Amino acid sequence: MTYSIIQVIAIFFIPLLIIRYHEFKLTKLIGTIGMAYLLGLIVALFVFGLRKLGVNVVQNQDIGEIGSHLAISIAIPLLLFSANLKEAKKLSKSVLLAFGSVILSVLIVTTLTFLIYGKTLNNGAELSGMAIGLYTGGTPNLNAIANVFGLDSITIGIANLSDMIIGGTFYMFLLILCKPLLLKFLKPTSSSDYLKEASNITNTEELNIKEFRTSKPLVKAFFLAFLMAVIGALLGILLWVILGAVEGKMTDLLVPTMMISVTVFGIIASFNKKIRETKGTNVVGQYLILVFSFALASSLDLTKMTGNFGKVLLLYGIITIGSFILHIIFSKLLRIDVDCAIVTATAGIYGPAFIPAITKQIKNDSLTVPGLICGSIGYAIGTFIGVGIGLLFML
């Protein structure tokens, strides 16, 4: 009981610290979500060590599972509320082609990787679908797809840990070696004509906690997201009843229906200007994603994390590198310049949060806004593409 209370306090307090110190070097490298998983794994490792020493400490799996499901179901619409998808019409043809190249590359490489290697793994179809959501959208998409497919916390934890290791390593490549190498293959940047008209979109993932203020519109937005999760859950229960109310199968329908519902509701709500411009929804959404990540990782039973980790790491490594290489080949054929190719790849593989650092590194601020727009599009479509292709793989 005492450990469960400590577990609950940590689940809600540690993410606050991560946001507060998000400028920490390691956090900037692996991202706030990666840091939440890392700290959660350290807690799980500590508990594992205590057990080995004979101390009877048991993680409450229910706290981790229930907390994570609830957190991510509210977080997804909150993150989507600020996605100004109408701004996509302002992107130039070259940016749209480049981001389309990223999506197509991920689909082709993931499909080939699944057919050759992924189908030999436990949950290989689901993990491959999660990879598509991850590399066209971001980590929230990966976790939403995992919940739709009803995967256990161990499998989700392995997928996130693999992404953290590969993502951190590949991001260093993007920052340091990518542009000098690609300049030998792609045409250099000669213009800054990436938008057809001016856009006022901002980096909705910037975690400026010092300027964060609770407001009436923000409270309303939070309860709207909560209501969306409740409606999604009720639709799941209704579907369970319609299909015969099989005992023990309600969660199998409730969670997937809720995940898809909150994604659809969140996208629809983002077209409402009042909701979209509510300040702070991104911070609360990111906080809840961190709660989800830490809750899941800290409640992992490391005795069950078997040799599948290395296989999933290899799967995601092949997809990451293969998709990037194919994207560069497409960029060469489409005459996409080097900066545009790098930024759109970042938008797909990492999402909007990493765009400003990349555009600063390659010294091309004119791609910051287009990159943020592409990242928002990825968040919106990643879950649907990943679930759809994942279901095809399962056939």
Residue 367: both structure tokens together: 């791609």
Measured between alpha carbons, how far is residue 198 from residues 126, 278, 306, 357 in Å?
40, 21, 51, 21
What does the alpha-carbon distance between residue 384 and residue 263 come to, in Å, rounded to a whole number?
9
Six-digit token string for 104: 């197509």
Cβ atoms 364, 99 nearer than 8 A: no
> Is 0.85 topped by the overall pTM?
yes
| End-to-end CA separation in angstroms for the chain | 44
Query: What three-state secondary structure class fits 272?
Result: coil
pLDDT digit string (tens) for the chain, length 395 residues = 566 777 788 888 999 899 888 888 888 777 788 888 889 888 888 887 877 787 776 666 666 666 677 888 999 999 899 877 888 888 999 999 999 999 999 999 999 999 999 999 999 999 999 999 999 998 889 999 998 998 988 898 899 889 988 988 898 899 889 999 999 999 998 777 888 877 766 665 566 666 677 889 899 999 999 999 999 989 999 988 898 878 767 777 788 889 999 999 999 999 998 998 898 888 898 899 888 888 888 877 777 666 688 999 999 999 999 999 999 999 999 999 999 999 999 999 998 888 888 998 898 888 998 999 999 899 889 999 999 999 999 98
Alpha helices in the chain (DSSP H): 2-20, 25-52, 61-81, 93-116, 124-136, 139-148, 153-176, 178-182, 216-242, 250-270, 273-276, 281-298, 308-333, 338-350, 355-361, 368-394
